[in-house]
Amino acid sequence: MKAFIANLNFRRLVITLTISWLSIFVLLPHLMVVGTSFLTADADNFAIWPITLDNYLKVLDDTYAGVFWDSLVLSGITTVIALGIGYPFAFLLSRMTPALRAILLFMMVIPFWTNSLIRIYAIKMLLGKKGLFNLVLVSTGIVDKPVQLLYTDFAVIFGLVYILLPFMVLPLMASFDKLDQSLLEAGKDLGANAFHRFRHIILPLTMPGVIAGCLIVFLPAMGMFYVADLLGGARSLLLGNVIKNQFLVARDWPFGSAFSVFLIVLMGLLLWLYYKANQYVQKQGGMDDQNL
Amino acid sequence: MTRISDPRAITGRLFKWLFIGLVFVYLYLPMAVLVTNSFNKSKYGHNWAGFSLKWYQELFDNNAMMQAFGHSLLVAALAATAATLIGTLMALAIHRYRFPLKSATSSLLFVLMMSPDIVLAITFLIIFIALGIQLGFWSLLIAHITFCLPFVVITVYAQMKSLDPNILEAAQDLGASEARIFRVIILPLMAPAVLAGWLLSFTLSLDDVIISSFVTGPGFEILPIRVFSMVKVGVSPEVNALATLLLVLSLTLVAVTTWLIKRQKNQ
């Protein structure tokens, strides 16, 4: 009987810890952000009654709609470039011998383990007027005098892709790994050429990887305020800069929260898309273990 | 027609390796520039002015920076330890126990993993203010523990699935308590995954910029905040030296983790 109670206590302890930690530090704060976005800003108490929709109206206001749009475009371009590099990279890697693939994948991930702020600083060094890029451009005679690369949208995209590329490649690799080679052989035997095999077999079956990759590149890209701060120009380019500014400088928490709710909704939308793509692959590809 | 002499195949292979090579140049060039410049006498690193260790000397003499570095290592070590402990228990709960809200628990872990850092940053800030937790050491620690949790749970849970249920049943039949089964059987078998989870958490914590910027307080400065204010205004060669040291630290940790995971797979 004593042992039974002791077991019950240990079990209860583990379960209570799990539920309470996640409720207090994940569920409750997320709900509070959504709640705060409907409140009114106040200098002393961060957020007060009454409930209002003003924050959302302000998000759609001309000044902020511009930032919003810029941020979406920059993150969008970043995602497309990361996919453009990451997809062929993952494809080529997936066709290599396991040993070689493991080495290349490992080399890909090493920068991902280093401090991202320091890596952005490295890019700042690289793109400066007297940095290595301009040195090469001038000495090879491509340009007459150093060009302005730093503090431009180009630099921000360069930095975002740099930080986020491994996040694109890893889910794509997982998708390519699951690709059933016999399907490709069947396609070949039935007379499909390389393009058709890609278009009708490889692309649809790696779609979950594409969506997962885009999801974990696109959303974080909008938040990386330090990339825009160090590499971008004077205006705040990314949603992250606006949110940081509203929370830490302007102290308009409800407004900052409204911006974040947009990100949360976008995340939900993309997750739903991912779920749908996975379902499609399960149906079409006949694979049975597609758990997240 | 052999594959090797086919000109199309040769061009294809050339393009393939050219592309892969370029990707790696992109990934490694910025870091190579930092490491090289950390040994460069010239402050701005526009040219090579000779080998020097003076930036390392300046780094070690920079008290504010060294203090921030110490704080970061402290938070990373404590957060990794606590996250590993809690995360392992969470993995146990999800793997071994049935309880209400279990699927909700997994969903919350998934949300935690997928939420962009900027969203997590403000959720933490809001809850700390609401609970009256002073921004500084404790807020940083709790936030870091929390964002490391899902990665520990995933690593340990994956390993738990390979546990032989017969061993656990035998232990149960012989009268071992749940706590004892966990401590004497499950934990030792999970050791590689637990250690890998710890190392992953440690690196994640050291790497974080966004969440730390929101939940840090004036009394407790950590590395990213210090580095950020230094590199924002201009060139600071001590950061190059610091980057090189961090790189060596990360590479060591990666090597250890990879070795552990490999060993775990072989078992």
pLDDT tens track for B51-88:
888 889 988 988 888 999 899 999 999 999 999 999 99
- SS3 assignment, position A46: strand
**B176 or A28, which is more confident?**
A28
**In this predicted structure, what is the pLDDT of residue B117?**
93
Which tens digits make up the pLDDT trace of B82-108? 999 999 999 999 998 888 888 889 989
Q: Is the pLDDT of residue A182 over 50?
A: yes
Radius of gyration over alpha carbons of chain B, in Å? 24
Pair (A91, A232) in one structural domain: yes
Does A88 reach chain B within 8 Å, measured CB to CB? yes
pLDDT above 90: percentage of residues in chain B: 33
Q: What pLDDT does A45 receive?
A: 64
Dist CA A227 CA B213 (whole Å): 14
Given a cut of 70, is residue A289 above it in pLDDT? no
For residue A14, give how far its alpha carbon lies from the nearest alpha carbon of chain B (Å): 6
Of the two residues A283 and A264, the one the predictor is more confident about is A264
Mean pLDDT of A56-76: 83
Lowest mean pLDDT among A14-28, B155-169, B228-242: B228-242
Quick check: helix, strand or coil at residue A40?
A: strand
Each residue of B126-143: pLDDT tens digit?
999 989 898 999 999 999
| Shared domain check, A110 and A23 | no
The whole-model pTM stands at 0.87
Q: Same structural domain for residues A81 and A26?
A: no
Say whether B122 and A256 touch across the interface (CB within 8 A): yes
Q: Is residue A48 part of a domain?
A: no
Among B46, B126, B140, which would you mutate to test the A interface (most chain A Cβ atoms within 10 Å of its Cβ)?
A: B126
Question: Is residue B236 scored above 60 in pLDDT?
Answer: yes
User: What CATH number did the domain enclosing A266 receive?
Assistant: 1.10.3720.10
Interface test with A, best of B59, B102, B123, B131 (most A CBs within 10 A): B123
Query: According to the model, what pLDDT value does residue A291 have?
Result: 40
pLDDT at residue B233 tops 80: no
Partners of residue A224 in chain B, C-beta under 8 Å: 117-118, 210
Residue A125 has pLDDT above 70, yes or no: yes
Asked whether residue A52 is assigned to any structural domain, the reply reads no
pLDDT, tens digit, 9 for 90 and up, residues B207-221:
899 999 999 988 898
Same domain, A76 and A137: yes
Query: Same domain, yes or no, for A125 and A16?
Result: no
Number of domains chain A is built from:
2
Q: For residue A41, is it within any domain?
A: no
Does one domain contain both A173 and A216?
yes
Residue A234 belongs to some domain of the structure: yes
Domain co-membership, A139 together with A234: yes
Query: What average pLDDT score do residues B189-214 get?
Result: 88
Structure tokens at A147: 């060009």
**pLDDT over 90, % of chain A:** 25
Say if CB A14 and CB B93 are below 8 A apart.
yes
> Would you say residue A58 lies in a domain?
no
Q: Chain A interface, mutation test: which of B105, B119, B229, most A Cβ atoms within 10 Å? A: B119
Q: What is the 3-state secondary structure (H, E, C) of chain B?
A: CCCCCCHHHHHHHHHHHHHHHHHHHHHHHHHHHHHHHHCECCCCCCCCCCECCHHHHHHHHCHHHHHHHHHHHHHHHHHHHHHHHHHHHHHHHHHHCCCCCHHHHHHHHHHHHHCCHHHHHHHHHHHHHHHCCCCCHHHHHHHHHHHHHHHHHHHHHHHHCCCCHHHHHHHHHCCCCHHHHHHHHHHHHHHHHHHHHHHHHHHHHHHCCHHHHHHCCCCCCCHHHHHHHHHHHCCCHHHHHHHHHHHHHHHHHHHHHHHHHHHHHHC
Instruction: State whether A28 and A88 are in the same domain.
Output: no
Residue pLDDT, tens place only, A71-102: 899 999 999 999 999 999 999 998 888 889 88
Evaluate whether B88 touches B194 at the Cβ level (below 8 Å): yes
Confidence of residue A46 (pLDDT cuts 50, 70, 90): low
ipTM exceeding the 0.90 mark = no
CB-based contact (8 Å) between B241 and chain A?
no
> Does A173 share its domain with A226?
yes
Residues of B in contact with A223 (CB under 8 A): 116-119, 210
Task: Tell me the pLDDT tens digit for each residue of A235-260.
Answer: 767 889 989 988 888 888 888 898 88
Residue A236 pLDDT: 62
Indicate if the pLDDT at residue A288 is higher than 80.
Answer: no
In three-state secondary structure terms, A75 is helix
Are A139 and A191 members of one domain? Answer: yes
Look at residue A241 and tell me if it is in a domain: yes
A10 closest CB neighbour out of B125, B177, B247: B177
Q: Which residues in chain A have their CB less than 8 angstroms from residue B117's CB? A: 220, 223-224
Residue A44 lies in a domain: no
Partner residue opposite B129 with nearest CB, options A10, A46, A108: A46
Closest-CA distance of chain A to residue B117, Å? 7
- Residue ranges of A 159-218 with Cβ closer than 8 A to chain B: 162, 165, 215-216
Would you say residue A222 lies in a domain? Answer: yes
CA distance A204 to chain B (A): 23
Are A184 and A260 members of one domain?
A: yes
How far CA B98 is from CA of B94, B103, B256, in Å, comes to 7, 10, 35
Cβ neighbours of A88 in B, within 8 Å = 19
Residues of B within 8 A of A225 (CB-CB) are 118, 210
- Domain coverage including residue A95: 64-291
Do A191 and A230 have their domain in common? yes
pLDDT band at residue A292, thresholds of 50, 70 and 90? very low
Give the residue-averaged pLDDT of A20-29.
94
